[in-house]
Amino acid sequence: MTKPLILVTNDDGITSKGIRKLVDVMKNIGDVVVVAPNSPQSGKGHAITIGEPLRLYATDIFDEIDEYECSGTPADCVKLAKHYILKDRKPDLVVSGINHGSNSSISILYSGTMSAAIEGAIEGIPAIGFSLCDFKEDAEFDHALPYIERITRESLSHGIPKGVALNVNIPAINQEPIKGIVVCRQANAKWQETFDYRVDPNGRGYFWMAGDFINFDSEKGDTDVWALDNNYISIVPSQFDLTEYEAVRELQSWNL
Amino acid sequence: MTKPLILVTNDDGITSKGIRKLVDVMKNIGDVVVVAPNSPQSGKGHAITIGEPLRLYATDIFDEIDEYECSGTPADCVKLAKHYILKDRKPDLVVSGINHGSNSSISILYSGTMSAAIEGAIEGIPAIGFSLCDFKEDAEFDHALPYIERITRESLSHGIPKGVALNVNIPAINQEPIKGIVVCRQANAKWQETFDYRVDPNGRGYFWMAGDFINFDSEKGDTDVWALDNNYISIVPSQFDLTEYEAVRELQSWNL
């Protein structure tokens, strides 16, 4: 039987620890091709490169797989992989990550990791973004790997619904073992930003953006944030039709 | 009566023609504050600036309004405006645009214009993104302005549903007058990319990304693309909960 073709990308860049761990898992499951950014792309959301050229080079970071680094965003990597590098063989799965840091709740919108997975879904390819709730460069990933393998194999065997990418978040390692996996919804939350004003050595002002996470759903047990807070892995099936259908009906009664 | 406070931003940059036209309209309606990128940010999606400082300077481009240019993305501009510049008076409305180019259908995901509007919605502020289906720098906007004023006034009087940003797209000027305004859903479509490989003067390869728009809903009359193709203005109420609820139920039956 032909092994599935798995496209691996991320947003922390091709040399990050998280993508190495993800490649290790995916090599157990299928034929792996890596196309990943040549620099960190955290917070790039669903950015694509317009008006500037893209660079793409073969690399030799991993063992015995086809691998490329790209000057663009995670979404660019998926587009280049699908329409250029792999134009003769459509991938069976796109996986993105393992991100250093959570992409639960509203963070999905800012996430380069999930934009790559959603780009896969737009292309009609089953897609999963994996994120670990630990942003440290040397974060510990090993407790997550058996779960990532299981979720990936289940996804390949059941098939992910059309137009859906899975947003998988995994608790950072802690005293307790992970309790299990919960399929749930995106918590309604936001980042409350603060801006730290400083003056550079040339006398010009600048700001560092920082933020506190505010969970409007903190009382509710059916969200990704609840799952992670309670030491479960969360899976949110996520889609790219942003239409709010109830509001369509409401606005149709306006005098426009 | 106090005039509404309107925050104006865009993704083509503070010096573009589209934002000047939008400011002109908004001055008829309320008190205007502009916080916009200091450089073009097309295709930046919902990117935010992490790990790099932000710059913010007062400018003097428009007449008699508070105005600032920012080194960051459209989403950064809304965050800085809400949590720093306007921290003592919450805006009554965020408007973004007028974008030079369509943001209908799947393009909403890649759109800096709409990311600013959605950022407004996340902050609980009514928000509208306006885009003209003409990407030229000197595009003709004047036929759109009465419609933009009407949509804005209706939005302020009815109130936009919570958590929703309006994605308004306007046909480019043509022989026929605009037929009206349609509230509709986001068409299911994608960009089919092509990559044009070239070699630079130093002998290194690079790619230009280009693409063809493929509309999977071309037979259907309830989408934004249909509206625009038929010379209507489209309004898609758009939200930021990406959860696909049917898929949640489906995946809960998996053996995870």
Contact A171, A104 (CB under 8 A): no
Structure-token match 């720093």, residue found: B84
| DSSP-based three-state secondary structure for A147 | helix
- If one compares A189 and A51, the residue with the highest pLDDT of the two is A189
Residue A44's pLDDT is 86
Residue A1's pLDDT is 67
User: Which residues from B are below 8 Å from A254, CB to CB?
Assistant: 154, 158, 183
Residue to mutate among B149, B243, B248, B255, with most A CBs inside 10 A, is B243
Positions of chain B with pLDDT lower than 70, given as ranges: 1
Tell me whether residue B59 is exposed, middle or buried, using C-beta atoms within 10 angstroms of its C-beta: 0 to 12, 13 to 18, 19 or more. middle
- Chain B CA closest to residue A180: B256
Residue A23, CA distances (Å) to A97, A146, A166 in order: 9, 13, 18
Residue A51's pLDDT is 85
> What mean pLDDT comes out for the span A17-24?
98
Side chain identity at B176, as an amino acid letter?
E
Residue B113's pLDDT is 97
Q: Which two tokens stand for residue A94?
A: 């796109």
User: Which residues from A are below 8 Å from B109, CB to CB?
Assistant: 46, 115, 118, 122, 240, 242
Residue B235's pLDDT is 98
Residue B70's pLDDT is 97
- Chain A CA closest to residue B235: A248
Q: Quick check: A63 pLDDT over 90?
A: no
Q: Quick check: A39 pLDDT over 80?
A: yes
Residue B1's pLDDT is 67
Sequence-separated (6 or more) residues with CB below 8 Å from residue B219: none
CA torsion sign for A236, A237, A241, A246 is: negative
What is the least distance, in Å, from the CA of B130 to any CA of chain A? 15
The closest of B107, B112, B48, B52 to B83, measured between CA atoms, is B48
CB-nearest partner of B242 from A190, A195, A239: A239
Contact A131, A21 (CB under 8 A): no
**Percent of chain A predicted with pLDDT > 70:** 100
What is the least distance, in Å, from the CA of B112 to any CA of chain A? 8
What is the least distance, in Å, from the CA of A122 to any CA of chain B? 7
Residue A55's pLDDT is 96
Concatenate the DSSP letters of all residues of chain B into one string.
Answer: -PPPEEEEE-SS-TTSHHHHHHHHHHHTTSEEEEEEESS--TT-TT----SS-B-EEE---SSSSEEEEESS-HHHHHHHIIIIITTTS--SEEEEEEEES---TTHHHH-HHHHHHHHHHHTT--EEEEEES---TT---GGGHHHHHHHHHHHHHH-PPTTEEEEEEEPPP-SSPP-EEEE-BPP-EEEEEEEEEEE-TTS-EEEEEEEEEEETTTT-SSBHHHHHHTTEEEEEEEES--B-HHHHHHHTTS--
CATH number of the B5-187+220-251 domain: 3.40.1210.10
Contact B101, B132 (CB under 8 A): yes
Contact A38, A14 (CB under 8 A): yes
CB-nearest partner of B248 from A80, A183, A206: A183
Q: Which two tokens stand for residue B179?
A: 């037929």
Residue to mutate among A209, A217, A245, with most B CBs inside 10 A, is A209
Q: Are strands A56-58 and A66-70 parallel, antiparallel or unpaired?
A: antiparallel
pLDDT in tens, A68-108: 999 999 999 999 999 999 989 999 999 999 999 999 999 99
Given 3.40.1210.10, 3.10.129.10, 2.40.50.140, 3.90.180.10, which CATH number is that of A5-186+219-251? Answer: 3.40.1210.10
User: Which residues from A are below 8 Å from B44, CB to CB?
Assistant: 44-45, 47
Is A242 close to B75, i.e. CB distance below 8 A? Answer: no
Residue A36's pLDDT is 97
Is A161 close to B247, i.e. CB distance below 8 A? Answer: yes
Q: Which two tokens stand for residue A16?
A: 């990050």
Residue to mutate among A46, A106, A224, with most B CBs inside 10 A, is A46
